Amino acid sequence: MDTERVLQQMTVEEKAALVSGTDFMYTNPIPRLSVPSLRMSDGPHGLRIQKEGGDNGISESEPATSFPTAAATASGWDPENARRMGEAIAEECRFYGVNTLLGPGVNIKRNPLCGRNFEYFSEDPYLAGVIGAAEVEGVQSRGVGVSVKHFALNNSENYRFMGNSVASERTMRELYLKPFEYIVKHARPATIMCAYNRVNGTFCSENKWLLTDVLRKEWGFEGVVMTDWGAAHDRVAGLKAGLDLEMPGDTAICRRRILDGIQDGSLPTEDLNKACRNILNWVDRYAKPADPAPVDWDAHHALAGEIAADCAVLLKNDGVLPLKGSEKLHIAGELFENMRYQGAGSSMIRPTKVTTPKDAFDAHGVKSVALAESDTVLIFAGLTDEYESEGCDRENMRMPEKHLKLIDTLAESGKKTVVVLFGGSPFELPSCDKVDAILHMYLPGQNGGTAVYDLLFGVKNPSGKLAETWPMRYEDMPSHETFGKGINEIYAEGTEVGYRYYRKHNVPVRFPFGFGLSYTTFAQTEWEKDGQTYTQTITNTGDRFGAEVAMLFLDGELKGFEKVRLTPGESKTVSITVADEPKPEYDDTYTVPEPVPSFPVTVESRFTDLNQSFMGRILYNAVLSVVKKQMRQAQKLPEGPERDNAVKGAYFMKRIMDSNSPRSLSMCAGKQMPYNFAQGFAELTNGHLFKGIRCFMKKIKVPKLPKEEQNA
């Protein structure tokens, strides 16, 4: 495509359409100029490809491989895992005609209660950047683009649609922006997805400092900046700030404002042209038809299991593991048969198949006899979907009470006790000292059961290391008193997040960052320095093949790492060269904004704030009735994975509705809830009956889309 020629021939109406998405996951085509539509799909650890008319659950999605989530992948400390996973996902993208994957998510894990931590890599920006860049390289090596998200300071869920992240420039530059910077400079992602929230008072979608000054001018980003779904605000301000594409689009108000802005001069034509130019280049590079070549689904299922096994973390082992196979086992816990293998929310995948621990045990003839007759107890526990999900933050850092009670009860039986954990974020482990071994799988993807069997029975040796700190209790967190409590999220702890905080203040932790045991032993020499290069020799001093991770910390921060795999007696020398980068002094101050009143409500208020008035409660319940209907339909389905997935989708929609705002809901719902409806919701809730009615009756007139003109 000759981008400049096409751009010169485009009308203003066509340009306004091009910078807006359509049909939820597509860019607008310009048929007159042979500009095709580009298709996107949710990621980042597999495809959630909605069928026509599908909802936000996964029951109407096409089958795809559910790989381990980012929380698991980062614990492997091996970029090759992320790269191979990215390549496989890209093959599935091409098979389904998906041109750009929405992921990976690289936001810093500031607090373990963030409901979406399972989808993020680490509390450390270097580790998150390296693993994230590898996934980007893997996907894009197969001709599929990515959208790295959520830029920036999107570290909680409760107020993500309207929240204001308040932080100093030093805090942002040295921690929260670092993973994005690394990926932009090392992997050249096709697109960046801006977050819903404000940063120091300005929404990310119209934050010129973020989108232009830092991202483009400093880091050299040349791709497309798109919104998260429904994150557009003032469309003219967004274009002037460096926002290219509004998703999911089909919002009449945004196109109207663009057209009016060009006409009255408030939007310079060059700002619109810059966005169109970026989108045209992206479409030209990635908008390819579906690849008819079949996908080797079995190979991808096996790969998911390999990655899960390499990333699992052995947190405790008093010699009971690996199992010899001769033990008399008593197996307990709901997650043995109903393994939790993925998170809840927009990344939920309809897996091609699922291998649970029970499936793997059955395939190898491993039985559970009665507790009294056993010598070893296996307990499968952790966080369930009700406890962590996109759309809301966790209420506390505890496991479900029934899981805690089960562990306590069986640990007191006098048997050797092994706990296998599932979950996307740390949780308190009050029973840690009562059990003999703990194997943490995080969320291991659809073939997690195979990985569990291989690790428990010594077919494979655990080699994962924690990519985040596990505190003793939530109260030990520096942000525990304020996290997720209001619209203004103050990053008062600065860069003292995760291991930086615990090490500096000598706070005891349950498991430190980088911790993980093995069935073999290793000896590591001290780091030796030669210029900017550091070397360390690692030797496998045990009797099993295994892997260890060399980690280089300088001035208390991770600066390099490498995973080495060694046979018994084998040694390897690791060399890590650290770039001599300038260390500018950034401003370490921030301004605490005034508290935001919850009433009167505005289009930016949290949707639950509508409940403050009689009319608002009617509107709130009217919208929620759609979600309740979805839940009733899901619960009527026969028992099985399809029903479970539909219920998860309904729960997710309820959480999303509660944390949404009328404005973001209108920006996401397109023609079903135009912007004037959002205005009407606010006016009616505030008791302005006639103003509200006028808002609902108002029409926003825009030209037909280019594809509609073609059809006409």
Q: Which H, E and C letters describe 256-273, residue by residue?
A: HHHHHHHHHCCCCHHHHH
Angle, to 10 degrees, between the axis of helix 79-96 and the axis of helix 297-311? 160
Q: Which two tokens stand for residue 468?
A: 């985040």
- The full DSSP string for 55-90 is -SSSTTBPEE--PPPHHHHHTT--HHHHHHHHHHHH
Indicate if the alpha-carbon torsion angle 176, 179, 184, 190 is positive or negative: negative
Angle, to 10 degrees, between the axis of helix 675-685 and the axis of helix 689-697? 170
Residues 6+ apart with CB under 8 A from 406: 332, 333, 379, 381
The answer to whether 191 and 146 have CB atoms below 8 angstroms apart is: yes
Beta bridge partners of 548: 564
Q: Which two tokens stand for residue 439?
A: 């194997």
Whole-angstrom Cα distance, residue 249 to residue 230?
Answer: 8
Whole-angstrom Cα distance, residue 424 to residue 394?
Answer: 11
Q: Where are the alpha helices (DSSP H) in 188-234?
A: 208
Other Cβ atoms within 10 Å of 368 Cβ, number: 16
What spatial distance separates the first Cα and last Cα of the chain, rounded to whole Å? 26
Query: Pairing state of beta strands 488-490 and 470-471?
Result: unpaired
Whole-angstrom Cα distance, residue 644 to residue 636?
Answer: 11
Other Cβ atoms within 10 Å of 687 Cβ, number: 13
Whole-angstrom Cα distance, residue 653 to residue 558?
Answer: 38
Q: How many residues does the chain have?
A: 712
193: enclosing H helix or E strand: strand 191-194
The answer to whether 46 and 19 have CB atoms below 8 angstroms apart is: no
Residues 6+ apart with CB under 8 A from 369: 328, 329, 330
Whole-angstrom Cα distance, residue 325 to residue 709?
Answer: 68
Peptide bond into 322 cis (omega under 30): yes
Q: Which two tokens stand for residue 661?
A: 């705002």
Indicate if the alpha-carbon torsion angle 156, 158, 159, 164 is positive or negative: negative
Phi, psi of 650 (to 5 degrees): -70, -45
Q: Where are the alpha helices (DSSP H) in 19-155?
A: 70-74, 79-96, 125-140
The residues annotated with a catalytic role in the active site are: 228
What's the half-sphere exposure (Cβ side, CA atoms, 13 Å) at 670? 13
Q: Which two tokens stand for residue 7?
A: 């751009």
Alpha-carbon 280 to chain mean position:
27
Beta bridge partners of 164: 198, 488
